[in-house]
Amino acid sequence: MPQQDKSDLRAFFEPGSVAVFGSLREGFGLGYGMVRSLRQFGYSGKIYPVSPFHSEVVGMKAYSSVEEVTEPVEAAIVITPPPTVPRIVQQCAHKGVKAVIIVSENFAEAGGDGAKYQRQLEDIARRTGIRIIGPNTVGVFNPATGFLTNPYIIVQDKIRQGGVAYCSQTGSVGLAAKPLEERSYPVRLLCDIGNKCDVDESDVLNYLANDHKTKAVAMHLENARDGRRFIEAARRVVARKPLLIIKGGKSEAGAEAMVSHTGSLAGNEQVYDAVIKQVGALRLSSWEEYWDVPRVFNSQPLPRGNRVAIITGSGGLGVTVIDTAVGSGLVMAKFSAATQKRLKKLFRRLGGNPVDLGPVLSVAEDPFTKQRQIIEAVLEDENVDCVAASIYVGFDALIHYIAETFDSLKKHMSKTIAIHLYGMKTQVLEEMLRQLEARGLPTYLDFDLAVKSLGFAARYSGIRMGLEQS
Amino acid sequence: MPQQDKSDLRAFFEPGSVAVFGSLREGFGLGYGMVRSLRQFGYSGKIYPVSPFHSEVVGMKAYSSVEEVTEPVEAAIVITPPPTVPRIVQQCAHKGVKAVIIVSENFAEAGGDGAKYQRQLEDIARRTGIRIIGPNTVGVFNPATGFLTNPYIIVQDKIRQGGVAYCSQTGSVGLAAKPLEERSYPVRLLCDIGNKCDVDESDVLNYLANDHKTKAVAMHLENARDGRRFIEAARRVVARKPLLIIKGGKSEAGAEAMVSHTGSLAGNEQVYDAVIKQVGALRLSSWEEYWDVPRVFNSQPLPRGNRVAIITGSGGLGVTVIDTAVGSGLVMAKFSAATQKRLKKLFRRLGGNPVDLGPVLSVAEDPFTKQRQIIEAVLEDENVDCVAASIYVGFDALIHYIAETFDSLKKHMSKTIAIHLYGMKTQVLEEMLRQLEARGLPTYLDFDLAVKSLGFAARYSGIRMGLEQS
């Protein structure tokens, strides 16, 4: 059997056809759930449900085995009991399937026979060249093709397409775990690599490095299966796009827990920390950062330096946020004399950084015009590399004006900007967030997170400049 | 004129009557906004709108001056131009008003004449004994009495009553800035002390120390006006309830910005840090923490130690959260042999900490019963002081079952618990959050924040035990 190009994971994310192995019992069967989810998200490839117990599911023909399918099959999703999985994957390999995602649990992470079945899978992958993601994974999701391998109930039927590839070793940050659509996360791909019996973090990084639609990679890492390959792959990513890593096991207790989670040994924490730094990746320190920091890389230019302007609705908020900025490696921009003059002309007490909108907006005849003029002056200052702007959106009626403000500011958007929204209704804030994100503006509901994201952007920018000069 | 008891700020939060000074122009007048807000929140005291230009506002009689009011007036809200304010406050003092909240801006923070007017206010307060909050503040909000001084549009008409007093030197964390009701923040009081011409942080702390409905104090501090008084007041609070402080000016740039915000000089950062530690207060490091950490103190017992059990829907999520726990001063509890046995009986692969619900719930016949039994076993372990439980609430239909789970767990609630919710719909998560909060369970939409909160609870518990032993 000819070996396929092993670095090409395309068949996992945009297969033209997929076989689904799993219970097709209506309502509760996990195979049924898969088929339903694929249709719900408008997957346009051919779907071949496979089950010995059914001849039909949701109006589609079901097959008793993959060999019964006469057309070629590119990918397979398997969610059947562990003892049945090796034979299914062997049959898939024989059929010429390129990519198998094994969602079933109870392999190496459960020990006992599970470990044995996982070794059999490793062996099949090695022998036949078929690629495997999993087992013990919720697999992948590609909003562009509607291809997903999630057997659980998903209440939305589309997710915003964007440039961030999220890759994890846990399913609980997947499609079902986060208000992805309501919060308008710009998703290129979601991928849970599970127990990594074949495809591992290095494979995914190599693939994403070459995927021109991926603008940033957020990776949750428990361990790297092959240190050298990981370093090479991470470097390949960092040369082209930011690589943001959340790594468990920083504390000793965390390291211990990792061992039992995916059945793989934890590495030495200091070594990982050094490697992450050495390759130019950036370490995230919370799940909030994992989800939200990459927003800033989706549609914004990289800042040319680390000088930040902070525009706030309140002086008090601004002050504590400066501490966050400094802690994130930013420095407060000092406005040019021209900008200071321009700001003072707009309002006597302006001119410094942070820029406090509060007093001026409370007296302005046309606060939206004033707000726009102030942001414009700041964005145009030669001493400013990036801008964090905190905007009040208390109620519905303001959405329109704020959208207009940023529409007319578009032409000044050569600087990196991150927007923070605050107000009293979640739905209003989320609607405004979606409208601004649709305009290419990274938007946050937490000011500290917005500022931190600019810090990450500036740090990556510095790393890229260093790489390009060397 | 007899001096009133200066430490009693009750008239600011639950006055029986209030005079409102400000433009009564329908729709846009700030005095009009105040009156409308007071009615919207069901303030039951008498309201006396005062304006020389109107004789009536929203169906109420307006007065040309406070002297025209024949009944006694307990409090006043002032939102008129700075030059008019000293005379108004003087008249209020003469009338016997106890508490004035000056919302107007452009006093000391603006320099020039503003500083002069502020000095006049300080002088009136000193001379007459009238107490003043502000100027340059959004003032106070008390959900129990419906008393508020916010002139802006507020879209909700009630806020959950709870035990957390939030005190800031910025209005942008006030009533209009946060989805307080949707996220079910347990509010005892909101208070922005603004420029502190009279009432300062120490006054507020002294008041809150004695207020038995206040279970925790979250304070945003720029500087302390009188170091010795602040230390005494903070100690008084800490002896009875936790004091959580977010302090701007940690970085040099932050300290500089503080000066221009409320016209007060920043203190030395190291000194503040030492003072906060010395008095037993706990320092917060973000606005998210400011809002959410106090939840854990609202209705939960203090943990007797720092041994945490982490219950997670995913091993991977659990691992990184352990690092957060350790970073927050917690240690991973080691379950007793009996608990380990009990957990293993529920599911072969359980027994360790963190407790991974993922594998067991995906195969359990009745996952909700299983989930309850697991949490119960963990809560009953003698080696566990507190529990962080991450619960999946993907869609509406689960809300009922999870509420039932925690209802039946109630009798085991002698341990401190913090709940994290995850799922794909904000509205579902918020509804579940409100239902759990209503049951006295501190509930978070960010796992790290839930764990950090337990860390704060354990640290405060340690401080309290230390105080009681000494």
Q: Is the pLDDT of residue A140 over 60?
A: yes
Q: Are B277 and B462 in contact (CB under 8 A)?
A: no
In this prediction, residue B177 has a pLDDT band, given cuts at 50, 70 and 90, of: confident
What pLDDT does A77 receive? 98
Q: Is the pLDDT of residue B363 over 80?
A: no
Same domain, A337 and A269: no
Q: Are B462 and B242 in contact (CB under 8 A)?
A: no
Write the single-letter amino acid at A28: F
Q: Is the pLDDT of residue B464 over 80?
A: yes
Domain boundary among A292, A320, A352: A292
CATH (domain of A22) = 3.40.50.261
CB-based contact A253 B332, cutoff 8 Å: yes
Least confident of A258-267, A375-384, B413-422: A258-267
CA atoms within 13 A on the CB side of B359: 23
Could you tell me if residue A201 is inside a domain? yes
| pLDDT average, residue stretch B409-422 | 89
Closest to B20 (Cα-Cα) out of B142, B149, B117: B149
Q: Between chain A and chain B, how many beta carbons pairs sit less than 8 Å apart?
A: 248
Kindly state the percentage of chain A with pLDDT values over 70. Answer: 94
What pLDDT does A6 receive? 66
Closest to A15 (Cα-Cα) out of A90, A111, A88, A92: A92
Q: Are A421 and A444 in contact (CB under 8 A)?
A: yes
Helix and strand numbers, DSSP H then E, in chain A: 17, 20
Give the mean pLDDT of chain B. 91
In this prediction, residue B463 has a pLDDT band, given cuts at 50, 70 and 90, of: very high
Residues 15-44, chain B: which have Cβ within 8 Å of A?
A: none
What pLDDT does B265 receive? 44
Give the closest of A155, A257, A315 to B319, CB-based: A257
Residues 48-87, chain A: which have Cβ within 8 Å of B?
A: none
Residues 324-353, chain A: which have Cβ within 8 Å of B?
A: 324-327, 331-332, 349, 352-353
Give the closest of A109, A152, A352 to B260, CB-based: A352
Domain boundary among B238, B258, B292: B292
What pLDDT does A58 receive? 86
Helix (H, G, I), strand (E, B) or coil at A148: strand
To 5 degrees, how large is the angle CA A453–CA A454–CA A459?
Answer: 100
CB contact A169 to B (< 8 Å): yes
Instruction: Report residue A178: phi and psi, to 5°.
Output: -145, 140
Same domain, B255 and B182: yes
The tokens of B27 are what? 């729709």
Ranges of H-type helices in B110-156: 113-128
Residue pLDDT, tens place only, A165-203: 999 987 767 788 899 999 999 999 999 999 999 999 999
State the total domains in chain B.
Answer: 2
Write the single-letter amino acid at B124: I
Residues 342-401, chain B: which have Cβ within 8 Å of A?
A: 349, 352-354, 356, 358-359, 362, 390, 392, 394-395
Instruction: Report residue B118: phi and psi, to 5°.
Output: -65, -40
**Which residues of A fall within a CB distance of 8 Å from B179?**
423-426, 429
Look at the block and give the residue holding tokens 């013990």: A136
Residue pLDDT, tens place only, B117-162: 999 999 999 999 999 999 999 999 999 999 999 888 888 889 999 9
Residue pLDDT, tens place only, A45-60: 999 999 988 899 888 9
CB-based contact A424 B323, cutoff 8 Å: no
Please state the pTM of the whole predicted model: 0.92
| pLDDT average, residue stretch B68-94 | 97
Query: Rounded to a whole number, what is the largest CA-CA distance in chain A?
Result: 79
What pLDDT does B1 receive? 39
CB contact B179 to A (< 8 Å): yes
In this prediction, residue B444 has a pLDDT band, given cuts at 50, 70 and 90, of: very high
Least confident of A251-260, B9-18, B447-456: A251-260
Q: Is the pLDDT of residue B98 over 90?
A: yes
Residue pLDDT, tens place only, A299-346: 999 999 999 999 998 766 767 889 899 999 999 999 999 999 999 999
Distance CA B230, CA B167 (A): 14
Same domain, B306 and B271: no
To 5 degrees, how large is the angle CA B279–CA B282–CA B286?
Answer: 145
- Residue B71 or residue B413, greater confidence: B71
Distance CA B97, CA B72 (A): 8
The tokens of A147 are what? 């291809």
Give the closest of A315, A322, A395 to B153, CB-based: A395
Listed in sequence order, the residues at least 6 apart from B313 whose beta carbon sits closer than 8 Å to its beta carbon are A172, B356, B357, B358, B361, B390, B391, B392, B422
What pLDDT does B272 receive? 86
Residue pLDDT, tens place only, B102-123: 999 889 988 889 999 999 999 9
Distance CA A99, CA A440 (A): 34
Could you tell me if residue A2 is inside a domain? no
Same domain, A46 and A149: yes
Could you tell me if residue A1 is inside a domain? no
Write the single-letter amino acid at B461: S
Same domain, B330 and B373: yes
What pLDDT does B3 receive? 44
Same domain, B63 and B150: yes
Domain boundary among A232, A262, A292: A292
Q: Are B329 and B455 in contact (CB under 8 A)?
A: yes
Same domain, A265 and A404: no
CB-based contact A171 B358, cutoff 8 Å: yes
**Beta strands B99-102 and B216-221: pairing type?**
unpaired
Could you tell me if residue B4 is inside a domain? no
Give the closest of B287, B315, B353 to A448, CB-based: B287
Same domain, B273 and B388: no
Q: Are A175 and A116 in contact (CB under 8 A)?
A: no
Same domain, B416 and B267: no
Distance CA B455, CA B461 (A): 10
Look at the block and give the residue holding tokens 């690589």: A243
In this prediction, residue B413 has a pLDDT band, given cuts at 50, 70 and 90, of: confident
Could you tell me if residue B48 is inside a domain? yes
CB-based contact B176 A251, cutoff 8 Å: no
Closest to B170 (Cα-Cα) out of B280, B290, B275, B19: B290
Could you tell me if residue B15 is inside a domain? yes
| pLDDT average, residue stretch B293-301 | 96
What pLDDT does A392 receive? 93
Q: Is the pLDDT of residue A2 over 50?
A: no
Could you tell me if residue B63 is inside a domain? yes
Distance CA B120, CA B331 (A): 54
Residue pLDDT, tens place only, A416-468: 999 999 999 999 999 999 999 999 999 999 999 999 999 999 999 999 999 98
Closest to B464 (Cα-Cα) out of B281, B213, B201, B219: B281
CB contact A248 to B (< 8 Å): yes
Domain span holding position A230: 10-292
Could you tell me if residue B5 is inside a domain? no
Kindly state the percentage of chain A with pLDDT values over 90. Answer: 74
| pLDDT average, residue stretch B205-230 | 94
Give the mean pLDDT of chain A. 91
Same domain, B139 and B284: yes
In this prediction, residue B271 has a pLDDT band, given cuts at 50, 70 and 90, of: confident
What pLDDT does B258 receive? 57
Same domain, A219 and A336: no
Q: Are B131 and B6 in contact (CB under 8 A)?
A: yes
Task: Give whole-number Cα distances, A267 to A81, A250, A275, A387, B352, in Å.
Answer: 31, 10, 11, 38, 20
In this prediction, residue A411 has a pLDDT band, given cuts at 50, 70 and 90, of: confident
Same domain, B251 and B323: no
Residues 91-120, chain A: which have Cβ within 8 Å of B?
A: 105-106, 109-110
